A and B are shown apart, each in its own frame.
Chain A
Amino acid sequence: MSVAAPSASDIRPVARSQSLKFYGIWVIVAIGLVVLPVIFSSGGSLTSFSLIGIAIIFALSYNILLGQTGLLSFGHAVYYGLGGFAVVHMMNAVAAHGWPLPLPFIPLVGGLGGFCFAAVIGWVMTKRAGTVFAMISLGIGELVASSSLILRSVFGGESGITTDRTALPHMFGWSFGPQIQVYYLIAFWVMIAAIAMYALTRTPFGRICNAVRDNPERVEFIGYDPHVVRYLSYCFAGLFAGIAGGLTAINFEIANSAYLGAVQSGLVLFATFIGGTAYFFGPILGAILVTYLQLGLTSLTTVWQLYFGIIFIGIVMFAPGGIAGILMMHRPLLRAGTLGTVIPSYLLALLPTLVLVGGVILGIETIAHYTASQGEGNVINLFGIPFNATTPSTWIIAIVTTIGGFLVARMTWRRIVEAWDRAARGARDQGYLA
């Protein structure tokens, strides 16, 4: 028993070059976050970056539950919202009493708020996984959201509770009044939270979370109580969601009941799923895309939720691994050098698919405008081209591009499938694909 297997010493799970690459990625991300506002310095983009940063933390925290532990929560915004309220109250208290607590430390209070609530309520919630957990999370979400409107002194009713982030003690001479300073505060916390959450996946606890996700029954026979694992996972998710919510409160200088409502819970589920739950970076991509779409679409169209729905259904049906899943699908092909066989088919499919998408958008917008607006609001501006929703030609263009685009696109999609088969066979022959 004491003799080591001869090959045991050869096993180094993490090669040095790999860990170098790993630290390299974080350094590059950090540099990117620092220079981003230098390249895009408009006020609008600063606001967008700040919101995207917060969304990244929130989505990553959600993935501790969904992707790591296999818990589908419909009420994750509760922790985000409570983190926000904890922060607002703390900021007001710090300002009122003149406590020496500068703003950069305040998000921790949000994290603490989320963590404490999760710690109190989580034990009962995580007794069961699956549908039971999902239903309870929905119930708790509704419960907290509705109590937030009743408990006015804590949640400020409909209007919420405001605060002034410049009233806190300054740090490095920063007042955190200008958006750029808030951006850097958020970027700092994005780094901290993302590294912490990644590190968490690499611990014994993080590995057992995956085991509970895959097979909670078997986990019991290797010494672990899946209930404890789910509970700890729930507390960590609450902690990081609270930090995200706290940053939102700092960013907007307000916390209101919308923060902890079902819409917010839905959005984080949406972002995490679209990004892909199977890889750590998936939710990051999802958060960037969804926040960007949300900011962009809401100003462009009144039916932006419809587009969200379509994207979500599309991902669920055709790419359940999300964007990260689609990207990582190509890794074996890249290694085997057969990626070149699929790229041309992608390019070929691009134009007809875009025509199809354009047709669908025009159709949706035409119907939306026609039914919703009377009189002057009939002109739709799509890709710089004005269309009038009341003229038949617009309807005809929409129908023709949708149907025509679909018919042509379908042919090019078939080519993608064929090219994929060939490329995958090549990768399989070389042992890069199981």
Chain B
Amino acid sequence: MTAAIEILNVEKRFGNVGIIHGLNLSVAQGERHAVIGPNGAGKSTTFNLISGHIAPTSGEIRLNGDVISGLRPFEINRRGLSRSFQVTNVFARMTVWENVRCAVLWATGHRYAFWKNVDDLPEVRQRTAEILDDINLLHRREVPAGLLTYAEQRELEIGITIAGGADVIMLDEPTAGMSHAETERAVALIRRLTEGRTLVIVEHDMSVVFGLADRISVLVYGHIIASGTPDEIRGNPKVREAYLGEEAH
């Protein structure tokens, strides 16, 4: 089976500064893959590379076997990859309902249609309501997204990401800044919503990582130092030294 995501020897430099070097990563289809690493390791940059937000300086990225490096984000999204952002990135002046509905429109085939009444599309309405129900924001649907609480905005961020029905979901620190109870709820949500899909998640909370992930990759200074099952990662001395040890002090 071809890997959902395959990163081959990717390099990313910003000017003279090399942020990502010799990055190789493979995420199997249907796998829940966590990427961990210290602050500034390049986790978000890796997400930006995969999702087309930035182009690699060299190397190749494949989605389901097709080369996607160099494509624009919307082209990659249309091929079935959707990502969330570490810093909430929603449509602030539009309501919660509209935020999710916008994310549903392309996937339901309405594209740039300027001849259809958007309120008159049953499948769009149905799917929007389902997503809002999933992320527990149905009762807040008329509120402008900019006025939501922080935790609600994070949930909306996830909702927008999954609304298009992409097979590959990438979440960048979805639980950052959440309370313990909120985190638990969010993890249950992520587990349920990504059932049967491929998930790549960046997360600092180790209990979340080890509870959720099938496989874990450890990124340090723009390079993956280890990749394996949670047990393998826990037992890996290089990881303990470079990352987990640092966490423990």
Contacts and interface: CB of A to CB of B under 8 A. Distances in A.
A220 B73 contact: yes
B91 A210 contact: yes
Contacts, number: 129
Interface stretch (B38-46, B107-115, B210-218, B224-232): B107-115
B51 A221 contact: yes
B102 A208 contact: yes
A207 B118 contact: yes
A205 B114 contact: yes
Contact of B147 (A214, A222, A232, A434): A434
**Which of B118, B144, B147: most chain A CB closer than 10 A?**
B118
B69 interface: no
Contact of B93 (A4, A6, A9, A210): A210
Given A207-B118, A210-B91, A434-B143, A232 B112 contact: yes
A191 interface: no
Contacts of B83: 221
Interface in B79-135: 82-83, 85, 89-94, 97-98, 101-103, 105-107, 110-119, 121, 125-126, 128-130, 133-134
Given A5-B129, A220-B72, A220-B77, A203 B94 contact: no
Nearest to B128: A11
Given A13-B119, A215-B91, A208 B105 contact: yes
Contact of A203 (B72, B90, B113): B113
Contacts of A13: 97, 119, 125
A14 interface: yes
B3 interface: no
Nearest to B147: A434
B129 A7 contact: yes
Contact of B118 (A202, A213, A236, A278): A202
B106 A223 contact: yes
A200 interface: yes
Interface string A141-171: 0000000000000000000000000000000
Contacts of A220: 52, 72-74, 77
A215 B119 contact: no
Interface in A263-317: 278
Interface in A174-210: 199-200, 202-208, 210
Contacts of B8: none
Nearest to B133: A5
B238 interface: no
B189 interface: no
Interface in B40-76: 51-53, 72-74
A229 to B, nearest CB: 7
B163 interface: yes
B114 A206 contact: yes
A8 B117 contact: no
**Which of A5, A200, A229: most chain B CB closer than 10 A?**
A5
A217 interface: yes
A203 B125 CA distance: 13
B72 A225 contact: yes
B191 to A, nearest CB: 15
Given A199-B117, A228-B112, A232-B114, A217 B89 contact: yes
A219 B102 CA distance: 9
What is the predominant secondary structure among interface residues of chain A facing chain B?
helix
A224 interface: yes
B116 A203 contact: yes
A211 interface: yes
Contacts of A5: 129-130, 133-134
Nearest to B78: A223
Interface residues of A, number: 39
B164 interface: yes
A210 B97 CA distance: 13
A280 to B, nearest CB: 14
A428 interface: no
Contacts of A434: 143-144, 147
Contacts of A414: none
A203 B113 CA distance: 7
Interface in A1-37: 4-11, 13-14
A13 B103 CA distance: 17
**Which of A4, A221, A224: most chain B CB closer than 10 A?**
A221
A231 to B, nearest CB: 10
B187 interface: no
A410 interface: no
A205 B90 contact: no
A221 B82 contact: yes
A5 B125 CA distance: 12
A64 to B, nearest CB: 11
Contacts of B143: 434
Given A13-B125, A208-B102, A215-B92, A222 B114 contact: no
Nearest to B98: A207
A223 B74 CA distance: 4
B138 interface: yes
A127 interface: no
Contacts of B110: 204
A422 interface: no
B160 interface: yes
A206 B94 CA distance: 12
Interface of A: 4-11, 13-14, 199-200, 202-208, 210-211, 213-215, 217-225, 228-229, 232, 236, 278, 434
10 contacts: A7-B133, A202-B118, A207-B101, A207-B105, A220-B73, A220-B74, A222-B82, A223-B77, A224-B74, A229-B112
Given A218-B90, A222-B74, 6 more contacts: A13-B125, A204-B118, A207-B102, A210-B94, A211-B91, A223-B107
Nearest 3 A/B pairs, CB to CB: A223-B106, A8-B129, A5-B133
